[in-house]
Structure 1
């Protein structure tokens, strides 16, 4: 089973550019990690500085979703 939320590296932000001869090089700064929603196919806005922080939040939101699915199944009457 694929988890709904997974940890992915964040997209670096551009901090400027420099020229070397005829080429321009983009300078970027890493910003950590994001959670990716596999159902909605998008990154969540919140960034985490370390993978451990992102992993713990990912586990928390996946468990919340799992608990919600279980509670929905318990409320559906079986005919």
Structure 2
């Protein structure tokens, strides 16, 4: 079981696209960290620069939620 809000890596952004033969390659950069809401199943795009900053905001959101002791099952990976 896991808490309602968890910290996740942000979706990488493409910076350069180049071609080698028939294939295209994209260079990506990390844009920080976001918060995922396990109850609503949505990603809250906040763009925290570091995991520690995001983790503190995540802990605050979990403490302020309606039922902070409520846990959610881990997602299945079948």
Give your verdict on TM over 0.5: yes
**Shift, 1:5, TM fit:** 0.2
Q: Deviations over 1:10-60 (max 9, x none)?
A: 110112301112211011111011100000111002111100001000000
1:51 matched residue in structure 2? 51
Residue aligning to 2:64: 64
Mark the structure with the bigger radius of gyration.
Answer: 1
3-state SS of paired residue (1:8): strand
When normalised by structure 2's length, the TM-score is 0.78
- Runs of 4+ in structure 1 deviating by more than 2 angstroms, as ranges, are none
State the TM-score, normalizing by the size of structure 1: 0.78
Q: Which residue of 1 aligns with 2:41?
A: 41
Instruction: State the alpha-carbon separation in 2 of the partners of residues 48 and 12 from structure 1.
Output: 13
Q: Which runs of 5+ in 1 are unaligned?
A: 71-79
Aligned length: 68
CA RMSD in angstroms, aligned pairs only: 1.5
Larger proportion of helix = 1
